[in-house]
C-alpha cells in the first residue's frame, strides 16, 4: 500500500503539472485581446508565424508567472500554518500577514502621500512581517500553545483591520483608491520588476519549506509527541513560522490580499494525497498556483475590458466550493 500511495502521489503531481501548464497557456491567451494558443507558442519559443510579443512578453507573461509563484507560496504558507496551529481553518491571515500589510500600505499613503508607488510592495511586506512579529511576541512563541497563538493572531489582526476601516472611513476616497485596488488581491499592472523582486526569494523559501515536510508531519502530532520523537519543537516551530510569514508577506506585497488560497489549497491537496506533508506540500503548491493563475486570467477575460481582482474571484467561487469540500470531508472522516 505504500507503493499504492506513492503511485497516487506521482500521478497526482503529473496530472497537476499538466493542468498547470494548460492553465498557464490559457492565461496567456485570455484577456481583452484573445490570443490563439498557436500564436502564444510562436511567441514564447520564437518560432516562425504570427506572434504577439508586446502583449505576451510585456504584460501577460510576467503577470501569469507572478500569479503562479505567489499562488504556490500562499498555499505553502497556509499548509505550514495549518500544521503548526493544528487547525484546518487556519491560514496566513491568522498570523496577521494580510491585515498588517493592508494597514502598512494605508498608513504610508496617509503619512507619506508623495511616496513613489514602487515602494508599495516593500511597505506591504514590512507591515505583514511586523504584524506577524507582534503576534509571535504577544503569544510568547517559545512556549506557544496553538490555541493561544490563534487567539492572539485574531485579536491583533482585527485591531489592524479596525485601523484600516477607520482610515478608509475618514479619508477622501481618491486618496485611497489605489491601495484599495491593491488590497483586493489584484495583479493588474504587475510586471517583470515585481516578478524579479520576489521570485528568487519565493523559490528559495519554498525549497527550504519542502525540506521541512517530515518535521511538519511530526510537529502536527503535537508538542508532546514531537518532543518525545526527538524533535526540537521550539526551534523548528520558529523556523517554520518565519518561513510561513516570509512566503505570505512577500506574496501579499506584490499581489495584495489573496486570502483564500492559503486556506483552500492545502485542503484540496489533503483530499487528493492525504495528510503527509511530503505529498501535501508540493500538491498544495501546484493547486495554489493553478487557482491564482485561473482567477487572474478569468478576472481579466470575463468582464473585459473591465478587470475583476483575482482575490475577489477566488473568494467568490472558492468559498462555496470550500464549504462543500469541508462538508464532504467530515462525512468521510466519520464513516
CB of 261 to other proteins, least distance (A): 19
Closest contact distance (angstroms) between CB of 7 and other proteins is 14
Name which of 280 and 294 has its Cβ closer to other proteins: 280
- Looking at the Cβ atoms of 132 and 226, the one nearer to other proteins is 226
Phi, psi dihedral angles at 51 (to 5 degrees): -130, 165
Q: How far is the CB of 276 from other proteins (least distance, A)?
A: 6
Q: Are 332 and 326 spatial neighbours (Cβ–Cβ below 8 Å)?
A: no
Any residues with CB less than 8 A from the CB of 95 and at least 6 apart, and which? 81, 131, 132, 135, 136, 149, 153, 241, 244, 245, 248
| Cell 483575482, residue located | 310
> Measured from the CB of residue 6, what is the shortest distance to other proteins in angstroms?
12
**Long-range CB contacts for residues 302-309, cutoff 8 Å, separation at least 24:** 304/31, 304/32, 305/32, 307/186, 307/188, 309/181, 309/184, 309/185, 309/186, 309/188, 309/256
Residue 159 or residue 223: which is nearer to other proteins going by CB? 223
Instruction: Give least dist CB 93 to other proteins, A.
Output: 20
> Cα separation of 332 and 335, whole Å?
5
134 SS3 class:
helix
Under 8 Å between Cβ of 87 and 258: no
Least distance to other proteins, CB of residue 221, Å: 6
Site for other proteins, rule CB under 8 A? 1-2, 5, 86, 88, 211, 213-215, 217-218, 220-225, 227-232, 270, 274-276, 278, 280, 333-335
217 contacts: CB under 8 Å, gap ≥ 6: 276, 277, 278
Q: Which is nearer to other proteins, 5 or 137 (CB)?
A: 5
Judged by beta carbon, residue 117 or residue 147, the one nearer other proteins is: 147
Round to whole Å and give the CA distance between 240 and 212.
8
Taking the alpha carbons at both ends of the chain, their separation in whole angstroms is 21
Largest pairwise CA distance in the chain: 64
- Report the distance separating Cα 251 and Cα 258, nearest Å: 9
Nearer to other proteins, 272 or 291 (CB): 272
Min dist CB 240 to other proteins, Å, is 13
Q: How far is the CB of 54 from other proteins (least distance, A)?
A: 46
Among residues 60 and 277, whose Cβ is nearest to other proteins?
A: 277
Taking the complex as a whole, how short is the minimal distance between the CB of residue 271 and other proteins, in angstroms? Answer: 8
Nearer to other proteins, 50 or 204 (CB): 204
Nearer to other proteins, 194 or 267 (CB): 267
d(CA 135, CA 149): 7
CA 129 – CA 121 distance, rounded (Å): 12
Backbone angles phi, psi at 24, to 5 degrees: -65, -45
Amino acid at each position: 500500500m505504500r507503493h499504492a500511495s506513492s503511485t497516487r502521489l506521482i500521478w497526482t503531481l503529473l496530472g497537476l503539472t499538466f493542468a498547470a501548464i494548460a492553465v498557464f497557456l490559457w492565461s496567456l491567451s485570455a484577456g481583452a485581446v484573445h490570443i490563439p494558443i498557436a500564436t502564444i507558442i510562436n511567441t514564447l519559443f520564437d518560432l516562425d508565424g504570427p506572434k504577439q510579443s508586446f502583449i505576451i512578453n510585456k504584460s501577460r507573461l510576467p503577470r501569469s508567472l507572478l500569479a503562479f509563484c505567489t499562488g504556490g507560496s500562499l498555499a505553502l504558507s497556509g499548509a505550514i500554518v495549518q500544521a503548526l496551529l493544528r487547525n484546518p481553518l487556519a491560514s496566513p491571515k491568522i498570523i496577521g500577514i494580510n491585515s498588517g500589510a493592508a494597514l502598512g500600505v494605508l498608513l504610508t499613503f496617509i503619512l507619506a502621500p508623495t511616496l513613489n508607488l514602487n515602494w508599495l510592495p516593500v511597505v506591504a511586506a514590512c507591515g505583514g512581517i511586523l504584524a506577524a512579529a507582534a503576534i509571535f511576541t504577544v503569544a510568547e512563541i517559545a512556549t506557544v500553545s496553538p490555541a493561544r497563538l490563534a487567539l492572539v493572531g485574531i485579536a491583533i489582526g482585527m485591531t489592524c483591520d479596525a485601523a484600516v476601516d477607520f482610515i478608509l472611513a475618514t479619508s477622501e476616497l481618491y486618496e485611497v483608491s489605489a491601495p484599495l485596488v491593491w488590497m483586493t488581491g489584484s495583479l493588474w499592472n504587475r510586471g517583470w520588476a515585481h516578478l524579479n523582486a520576489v521570485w528568487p526569494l519565493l523559490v528559495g523559501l519554498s525549497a527550504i519549506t519542502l525540506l521541512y515536510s517530515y518535521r511538519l508531519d511530526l510537529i502536527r502530532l503535537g508538542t508532546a509527541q514531537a518532543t518525545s520523537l526527538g524533535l526540537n519543537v521550539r526551534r523548528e516551530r520558529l523556523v517554520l513560522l518565519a518561513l510561513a510569514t516570509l512566503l505570505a508577506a512577500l506574496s501579499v506585497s506584490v499581489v495584495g490580499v489573496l486570502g483564500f488560497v492559503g486556506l483552500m489549497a492545502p485542503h484540496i491537496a489533503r483530499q487528493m494525497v492525504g495528510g503527509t506533508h511530503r505529498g501535501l506540500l508540493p500538491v498544495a503548491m501546484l493547486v495554489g498556483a493553478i487557482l491564482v493563475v485561473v482567477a487572474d486570467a478569468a478576472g481579466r477575460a470575463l468582464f473585459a475590458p473591465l478587470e475583476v481582482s483575482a482575490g475577489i474571484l477566488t473568494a467568490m467561487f472558492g468559498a462555496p466550493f470550500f464549504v462543500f469540500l469541508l462538508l464532504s470531508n467530515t462525512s468521510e472522516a466519520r464513516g
